[in-house]
Amino acid sequence: MTGASLVSNAMTPAERMPPPPIPLSIVTGFLGAGKTTLLNRLLNDPSFAGTAVIINEFGDIGLDHLLVEEADEGIVELSSGCLCCTVRGALVETLERLLRRLDNGRISALNRVVVETTGLADPAPVLHTVMMHPYLVQRFRLDGVVTLVDAVNGMATLDTHAEAVKQVAVADRIVVTKTDLIEGRGIPADLGARIAALNPGAPVLAAIQGNTDPALLVNCGLYDPETKTPDVRRWLNAEAFAVDGHHHHHDVNRHDDHIRAFSFSADRAISAAALEMFVDLLRSTQGASLLRLKAIVRTAEHPDRPLVLHGVQHVFHPPAVLPAWPDDDRSTRVVIIGRDLQEGYVRRLFDAFSDAPRPDTPDAAALTDNPLAIPGYPGK
């Protein structure tokens, strides 16, 4: 999606075409974190009937006790009412096969899709697959990323593998597994503190002997599953980012030493055109560093209908326009997790596009300290 279409493609709930988008969740975690155990729980849980779980290989998950019949196109129908299918070729092809079966009545329901990534995978490309596809982005909505972290080996894994760090940073829910193997049967304090520093906005759940409530792993998106209305405060969880997240030890062996989580708010409305330019400049120059961005924005053209933004690196999900503010707070709120992304630069950039005054800045500094200058580029 290009920057020019960021706001123009925004749709109100009333303008969405039926059928409603199907929630899609990503389950990720490093090798040995317990993804297979978790997916077996989902496939056995009656509340997940009508869920399709996309895995890499059937052999990774024991399906014998669940198997009803094996359908064509690599899709297995299970006694729990779930579907299980493998990624044959591209993920796009697998998702399209599911939609074809739903549309032609070969499956009665498709209430949710859960995609498992490989243990070494960066979850961002999986998110981009749905966010950038013109058809899939209409049929699916990203519900969230669930990342599993091994309580026993988690700290060593985060120290050794940059992919594991990114899996935690982009998560909406974090499940710490194998806590029954830890003294005290809980999340180790050092691991909990490290997860909180990487991603303060994500709730952290403890799994004992592989068990955690599957219902807590889904419904991470903007809309409350019960009321079907937007729950911005829960989705942003900006209060968690207000805590200083800069408690990092400067250890050259730490992959997360340069990851920062921060948030900011602004009372001044920003024009749609200026917002386009802000997002386009931020993602085109800092896309690799912008691990996750969530925002609710007050626009000058429609101050009573806030715009919701959600981006992973340089790719942004089509924005949504809410019919009204969900609470009394009508300020723009932005939460960001980035790698080597300067908080001051992002805030100054937003202020510049929203015409925020800088009354305490001396004239000379205001001229030489250009808020549009890009960190790391010549002259900065």
Please tell me whether residues 175 and 278 are part of one structural domain. no
Query: In whole numbers, what is the pLDDT of the chain averaged over residues?
Result: 82
Please tell me whether residues 280 and 203 are part of one structural domain. no
The confidence score (pLDDT) of residue 379 equals 44
42: domain CATH number?
3.40.50.300
Is 325 contained in some domain?
Answer: yes
The confidence score (pLDDT) of residue 99 equals 93
Is 264 contained in some domain?
Answer: yes
- Beta-ladder partners of 319: none
Q: Given 217, 232, 266, which residue is the final one in a domain?
A: 217
Is 67 contained in some domain?
Answer: yes
Count how many domains the chain has.
2
In this prediction, residues 368-372 reach a mean pLDDT of 62
Q: Given 217, 238, 262, which residue is the final one in a domain?
A: 217
Please tell me whether residues 69 and 146 are part of one structural domain. yes
Q: Does the pLDDT of residue 18 top 70, yes or no?
A: no
Q: How does pLDDT run across 306-352, given as a tens digit for each residue?
A: 999 999 988 898 888 999 998 889 999 999 999 999 899 999 999 99
Look up the domain containing 257 and give its range: 248-368
Please tell me whether residues 50 and 148 are part of one structural domain. yes
The confidence score (pLDDT) of residue 321 equals 93
- Show the tokens assigned to 92: 């796009």
- Show the tokens assigned to 190: 């050092």
The confidence score (pLDDT) of residue 64 equals 57
Q: Does the pLDDT of residue 365 top 80, yes or no?
A: no
Q: How does pLDDT run across 169-221, given as a tens digit for each residue?
A: 999 999 999 988 887 778 999 999 999 999 999 999 998 766 777 778 888 88
The confidence score (pLDDT) of residue 35 equals 86
Please tell me whether residues 137 and 286 are part of one structural domain. no
In this prediction, residues 158-163 reach a mean pLDDT of 90
∠ CA 229-300-310 to the nearest 5 degrees?
A: 45
The confidence score (pLDDT) of residue 267 equals 93
Is 224 contained in some domain?
Answer: no
pLDDT bracket for residue 247 (50, 70, 90): very low
Q: How does pLDDT run across 75-128, given as a tens digit for each residue?
A: 877 777 788 888 766 889 889 989 999 999 888 889 999 998 876 678 888 888
Is 76 contained in some domain?
Answer: yes
The confidence score (pLDDT) of residue 302 equals 95
Please choose, from the candidates 110, 118, 66, the residue with its C-alpha nearest in 3D space to the C-alpha of residue 87: 118
Is 138 contained in some domain?
Answer: yes
pLDDT bracket for residue 291 (50, 70, 90): very high
Please tell me whether residues 266 and 212 are part of one structural domain. no
Please tell me whether residues 50 and 134 are part of one structural domain. yes
Please tell me whether residues 136 and 66 are part of one structural domain. yes
The confidence score (pLDDT) of residue 129 equals 87
Please tell me whether residues 127 and 17 are part of one structural domain. yes
Q: Does the pLDDT of residue 19 top 80, yes or no?
A: no
Please tell me whether residues 16 and 144 are part of one structural domain. yes
Q: What are phi and psi of 101, to 5 degrees?
A: -65, -35
Indicate the pTM of the whole model.
0.83
The confidence score (pLDDT) of residue 368 equals 55
Is 168 contained in some domain?
Answer: yes
Please tell me whether residues 140 and 269 are part of one structural domain. no
Contact 10, 321 (CB under 8 A): yes
255: domain CATH number?
3.30.1220.10
Q: What percent of the chain has pLDDT over 90?
A: 39
Contact 241, 201 (CB under 8 A): yes
Please tell me whether residues 48 and 146 are part of one structural domain. yes
Is 375 contained in some domain?
Answer: no
Q: Given 217, 232, 258, which residue is the final one in a domain?
A: 217
CA distance 175 to 159: 18
CA distance 159 to 256: 8
Would you tell me how many other CB atoms lie within 10 Å of the CB of residue 136? 19
The confidence score (pLDDT) of residue 378 equals 45
